[in-house]
Amino acid sequence: MKKYENITSRKRVELVLNHQEPDRVPFALGGTAQKLPNTVVEQLLKYYHITDKPQKVLAGYNYMLYSIPLMKELGVDIAYLYLNASTGLYEYNGLEDKSIDEWGLTRERLDGFTNLGGSPLGEAEIDDLKKYDWPDPYDTDRVKGLSEKAEHLYKETDFALAAHRPAQLGIFEMASLLRGTEKFYMDFILDKKFVHALLDKLLEINLGYYDVLINAVGKYVKIYEMEDDLASQLSLLISPAMYREFVKPRHRQLVNFIKKRVPKVKIVFHSCGAIKDLIPDLIDIGIAILNPLQPLAEGMNSRIIKKEYGQDLVFQGGIDVQEALRGDVVDVEREIKQRLCDFAPGGGYIAGPSHNFGTDIPLNNIISVPKLIRKYGKYPINI
């Protein structure tokens, strides 16, 4: 096996995506659920004596501070590009304690994170979907400056580049919020036509998002991310049969659309929780990378998942934020060694947290994560 030394982040990620072993395991922050809270970003900027003012991007319904110098200090290998907020979201810019967003959902900020609610389609009939004031994915505000930013990152840094559509949940999650979870789940049995119509509308909007995103950054990006939380800590939220009837065909259309536009890219799928029973379905629709791999969720044993699906999937995440990273440095080191042993051999692993870093995780533990990955993640893995 070829031995690589001192290669770029872009090359490192490229090798891992092709199930090869580079010089070391790459490290990822950003995307749907591997973010740093803004208060933590500010602490890290002080720790590393970074004086550059961080950018502010809209990611996951929260404005996130985004610092290229900090990413370099942390040894991050992937830089994310996001569509901008729309005109409607600029009007409700997420800085108020409570507001209404472009979807008609109530946004309430609590401890730096945003809770969504309101169920604006809770009493809707199928004909009401045609009258609803839906977001416009082609709002030109969404791509202002994005092509230039992508070109700069591609030419002036060695990051691998990934792209994410704007602050919106996946089609299943968004349907549940707009309709109300209880009503939406009842619709799967009592009003299937409504479910299909709602999901089709959300698919149409998502296709628009990826259309404008690819138009803006498609020359530079090799990884596109999509998401839909389909599981809790203990089980799937709907049965595999329901997923295959209602949601999977729309996920397949999204994947096919992206791959038709940019054939050589890899697609990340994010779902929290106990997702194992749907992994074969995700492989079937063309997903290449699974994220965030919560190891304490039911059935998400990292060693078993790697053994069963490692030939077909790249794994991104997996480092437990629920318990291990809230412990001491010994717990953190043990956790990182475990995930590297389970996921890294043979390539196909991008290390990262199993969800966003919480504000209750000690700063020293966060700083230790990339250091320990660099220490123990050198190929060949020998821990």
- Reported as a single tens digit per residue, the pLDDT across 182-213 is 999 999 999 999 999 999 999 999 999 999 99
Give mean pLDDT, residues 226-251.
97
Give mean pLDDT, residues 261-282.
97
pLDDT band at 60; cut points 50, 70, 90:
low
**Predicted local confidence at residue 99, as pLDDT:** 73
pLDDT band at 97; cut points 50, 70, 90:
low
pLDDT band at 109; cut points 50, 70, 90:
low
**Predicted local confidence at residue 57, as pLDDT:** 84
Flag whether pLDDT at 168 surpasses 90.
no
Q: Which of 228, 199, 229, 224 is nearest to 209 (CA)?
A: 224
For 310, the token pair is 């490692």
Flag whether pLDDT at 92 surpasses 70.
no
**Predicted local confidence at residue 165, as pLDDT:** 75
For the chain, the average pLDDT equals 92
Question: What is the residue whose two structure tokens read 């580079």?
Answer: 22
Question: What is the residue whose two structure tokens read 């870093």?
Answer: 357
**Predicted local confidence at residue 90, as pLDDT:** 47
Flag whether pLDDT at 86 surpasses 90.
no
Flag whether pLDDT at 254 surpasses 70.
yes
- The beta-strand segments (E) located in the chain are 55-59, 62-66, 78-82, 98-100, 106-110, 113-117, 160-164, 223-227, 266-270, 289-291, 314-319, 349-353
Give mean pLDDT, residues 254-263.
97
pLDDT band at 321; cut points 50, 70, 90:
very high
Residue 38 CB-density burial (10 A; 0-12 exposed, 13-18 middle, 19+ buried)? middle
CA distances from 349 to 27, 290, 332, 342 (A): 9, 10, 18, 10
**Predicted local confidence at residue 167, as pLDDT:** 55
Flag whether pLDDT at 91 surpasses 90.
no
**Predicted local confidence at residue 89, as pLDDT:** 60
The letter for the amino acid at 161 is L
Q: Which residue has the higher pLDDT, 14 or 92?
A: 14
**Predicted local confidence at residue 119, as pLDDT:** 92
pLDDT band at 112; cut points 50, 70, 90:
low
Flag whether pLDDT at 166 surpasses 70.
no
Give mean pLDDT, residues 119-146.
94
The domain defined by 9-376 folds into TIM Barrel (3.20.20)
Share of the chain above pLDDT 90, in %: 81
Flag whether pLDDT at 31 surpasses 80.
yes
* pTM across the whole model: 0.95
Q: Which of 291, 285, 210, 191 is nearest to 247 (CA)?
A: 285
**Predicted local confidence at residue 118, as pLDDT:** 80
Give mean pLDDT, residues 255-261.
97
**Predicted local confidence at residue 1, as pLDDT:** 59
